[in-house]
Amino acid sequence: MRHTCEGNPMETPTIDDIWNRLHRYETAVHETRDHLSECSSFGRYRIGSPYFEQYPLRAALDTFKDDVRITGALAEYERITRELEFFESKGGKACRERLYCDLLAYTEAYRTMLCYHEFGMDYEGGITDSPIREEIGILLWELRKDFPTDDIEREISYLDTIFRTIREVERTEYAVISGTDTPGGATGSSDPPWQQYPSSRRQKEQAGFR
């Protein structure tokens, strides 16, 4: 996955990161609303884009819990989220179904990426630089109350195991060739992607957030 604070929800964010994320969140909501008919799973406009910004933003805000410096940011988050909720209410069931179709498409893409890698046919950037695994996890959190996701979660857990094995093999090969270990010796998180955010959908609802 991406390894900068701006793109990785597990890094420690700064106040500036929060405001940058808020801007991206609002832009994603407006673009998705204004270009809904142009949305596609892998196009410039994607119906999941607001959620791909919302979930890491919520996780970043949680790191500043009870910090008065983000009072304005929290108010801005609530305002943008109300816009998203209004958009959702207008789209109704059809929007949720389109999100679910994207979840299926991203799961298939994740599987395909791993297969290509096994055959030495990586696309530019490789698996580790792709946001697709994180996006699958976000959609699973968002949709698990509306659709049965157990089978998809099992499939992703299986694919994650393959991904971790690939990274471990590559790490070992790198160590043999270079005589050193890879930085940090990381082999990927052992947690499924939908468990990597400190705020689940249920926790957000209990706290008064969507």
Span 130-155, pLDDT tens digits: 899 999 999 999 999 999 999 999 99
Q: What is the DSSP letter of 122?
A: P
For residue 79, what are the domain limits?
15-206
Q: Which residue has the higher pLDDT, 190 or 31?
A: 31
4 falls within a domain: no
- CA-closest candidate to residue 158, choices 114, 102, 105, 104: 114
Roughly what angle, to the nearest 10 degrees, separates helices 71-118 and 132-143?
Answer: 120
10 falls within a domain: no
Torsion, Cα of 65, 68, 70, 71 (10° steps) = 110
75 falls within a domain: yes
- Residue in the block written with tokens 């609303």: 33
User: In this prediction, what percent of the chain has a pLDDT beyond 90?
Assistant: 59
Span 5-54, pLDDT tens digits: 344 545 678 999 999 999 999 999 999 999 999 999 999 999 999 999 99
3 falls within a domain: no
pTM of the model: 0.78
9 falls within a domain: no
183 falls within a domain: yes
106 falls within a domain: yes
100 falls within a domain: yes
Are 178 and 154 in contact by the 8 Å Cβ rule? The answer is no
Domain count, the chain: 1
Q: Quick one: the chain helix, strand, coil %, rounded to 5?
A: 65, 0, 35
Span 68-88, pLDDT tens digits: 889 999 999 999 999 999 999
